[in-house]
């Protein structure tokens, strides 16, 4: 009888505990992916370009903005090609097993994929071993979202 009471008490205690926090799959400051920058422009312009509310769409629970309707349409046809890796969270942080926000200017396009970092300083660390960091981040992802 005592064992049954202990099991019941443990079960009730587990139900009363708050659920572990889970990060959304896409890093979106103020609900805007990449802080409102156009993901396609990183590939076509080679730099961050601000998107416009006139050219936006919802994907993976976040609002994505684009500099033009053509860029929006390209993204819509193949979002996996243009969306930043690791949901737009810091790629270096993902390689280390955690999540961090990103600066749209701290980016790298490597092997046809967009990687964002927390800052220019972190980007320099990332660039010292991109293949190694990508391998580590791929092995970790998406576990850091569940912490």
pLDDT of amino acid 18? 35
Provide the percentage of residues in the chain whose pLDDT is more than 70: 85
pLDDT of amino acid 4? 47
Provide the percentage of residues in the chain whose pLDDT is more than 90: 82
Q: Is the pLDDT of residue 42 over 70?
A: yes
- The tokens describing 73, both together, are 């349409």
pLDDT of amino acid 13? 38
Neighbouring residues of 83: CB distance < 8 A, sequence distance ≥ 6: 26, 33, 39, 59, 60, 75, 114
Rounded to two decimals, the pTM is: 0.84
pLDDT digits (tens, 9 = 90+) for 71-104: 999 999 999 999 999 999 999 999 999 999 999 9
Q: Using 50, 70 and 90 to split pLDDT, how confident is the model at 21?
A: low
Neighbouring residues of 106: CB distance < 8 A, sequence distance ≥ 6: 116, 117, 118, 119, 120, 122, 123
Q: Is the pLDDT of residue 111 over 50?
A: yes
Q: Using 50, 70 and 90 to split pLDDT, how confident is the model at 5?
A: very low
pLDDT of amino acid 140? 95
Q: Using 50, 70 and 90 to split pLDDT, how confident is the model at 23?
A: confident
Q: Is the pLDDT of residue 110 over 50?
A: yes
Average pLDDT over residues 53-73: 97
């Amino acid at each position: 009888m005592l064992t049954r009471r202990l099991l019941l008490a443990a079960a009730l205690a587990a139900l009363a505990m708050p659920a572990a926090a889970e990060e959304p799959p896409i890093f979106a400051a103020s609900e805007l992916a990449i802080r409102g920058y156009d993901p396609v422009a990183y590939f076509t312009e080679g730099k961050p370009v601000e998107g416009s509310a006139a050219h936006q769409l919802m994907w993976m629970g976040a609002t994505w903005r684009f500099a033009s309707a053509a860029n929006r349409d390209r993204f819509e046809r193949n979002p996996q090609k243009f969306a930043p890796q690791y949901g737009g969270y810091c790629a270096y942080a993902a390689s280390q097993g955690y999540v961090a926000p990103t600066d749209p200017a701290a980016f790298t396009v490597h092997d046809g994929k967009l990687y964002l970092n927390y800052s220019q300083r972190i980007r320099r660390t990332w660039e010292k071993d991109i293949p190694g960091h990508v391998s580590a981040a791929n092995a970790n992802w998406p576990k850091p979202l569940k912490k």
